[in-house]
Chains A and B, each alone.
Chain A
Amino acid sequence: DIQMTQSPSALSASVGDRVTITCRASQSISNWLAWYQQKPGKAPKLLMYEASRLESGVPSRFSGSGSGTEFTLTISSLQPDDFATYYCHHYDTYSWTFGQGTKVEIK
């Protein structure tokens, strides 16, 4: 099975900061990677799919990149609404795998 590993597990940042979260796959997954945002007590929300495609309605300050085994989610200018936990996710032939999450906290 493919394993997804995120780093860091948590980070502290200030409003306006540029934030980058990394997700690594245990083997090449082409660009089949999605990113979700989850706020406390809420269901996850899809942000990006196919590594770099922005889901409809998601602010353009979010961007994704990468292919193969290494991927990044970047928030260009962190906003108060962005403090949340972020998960990467890969689907491959009837197997769905999530990363362990990265919590973005207020500095």
Chain B
Amino acid sequence: QLQLQASGPGLVNPSETLSLICSVSGGSISSTNYYWGWIRQPPGKGLEWIGSMYYSGSTYYKPSLKSRVTIFIDTSKNQFSLRLSSVTAADSAVYYCGRHSRLKDAFDIWGQGTMVTVSS
């Protein structure tokens, strides 16, 4: 059974760059059937899609975050990563990584989420 595990610093200083890794186990990230994405959820609020990528390296970002977001993949390590620059308190959230099935057009597997707080 494929599993996703998000990891990274739980505290980031304002104006700095948030960096998270999603490790994929139990299956290959190099599959034509899936996109790999990041979704976040501020405390007490709803889900917000940040961006997704295909194993080939193609990336897709939420327009309002595009100038600050980079998602990249390391197929040799079977993981993908998120970088969000110039963070503010508004970027404090639980960050989830997820697998989007192209067959179902839905995120069918999610990582457990990791809380990131932006504060000095």
* Residues in chain A within 8 A of chain B (CB atoms): 1, 32, 34, 36, 38, 43-46, 49-50, 53, 55, 87, 89, 91, 94-101
Asked if residues A44 and B47 are in contact (CB atoms below 8 Å), the reply is yes
* Residues in chain B within 8 A of chain A (CB atoms): 37, 39, 46-49, 52, 60, 62-63, 96, 100-101, 104-108, 110-113
A55 touching B47 in the complex, CB below 8 Å, given contacts A43-B113, A91-B100, A94-B60? no
Q: Beyond the given A34-B105, A38-B47, please list 14 additional residue pairs across the A-B interface where CB-CB is below 8 A.
A: A43-B112, A44-B96, A46-B104, A46-B108, A49-B106, A49-B108, A50-B105, A53-B104, A89-B106, A95-B62, A97-B49, A98-B46, A98-B48, A100-B46
Of B46, B49, B101, the residue contacting A96 (CB under 8 A) is B49
Asked if residues A98 and B110 are in contact (CB atoms below 8 Å), the reply is no
Provide the residues of chain B in CB contact with A44, threshold 8 Å: 47, 96, 107, 110
Min CB–CB distance A95 → chain B (angstroms): 7
Q: Is the interface of A mostly helix, strand, loop or mixed?
A: strand
Min CB–CB distance A3 → chain B (angstroms): 13
A94 touching B105 in the complex, CB below 8 Å, given contacts A43-B112, A44-B47, A101-B46? no
Asked if residues B96 and A96 are in contact (CB atoms below 8 Å), the reply is no
In whole angstroms, how far apart are the Cα atoms of A58 and B108 in the complex?
12
Closest-by-CB residue of B relative to A55 is: B108
Of B46, B100, B101, the residue contacting A87 (CB under 8 A) is B46
Provide the residues of chain A in CB contact with B48, threshold 8 Å: 98
Asked if residues A96 and B52 are in contact (CB atoms below 8 Å), the reply is yes
Asked if residues B105 and A32 are in contact (CB atoms below 8 Å), the reply is yes
Asked if residues B104 and A43 are in contact (CB atoms below 8 Å), the reply is no
Closest-by-CB residue of B relative to A85 is: B46
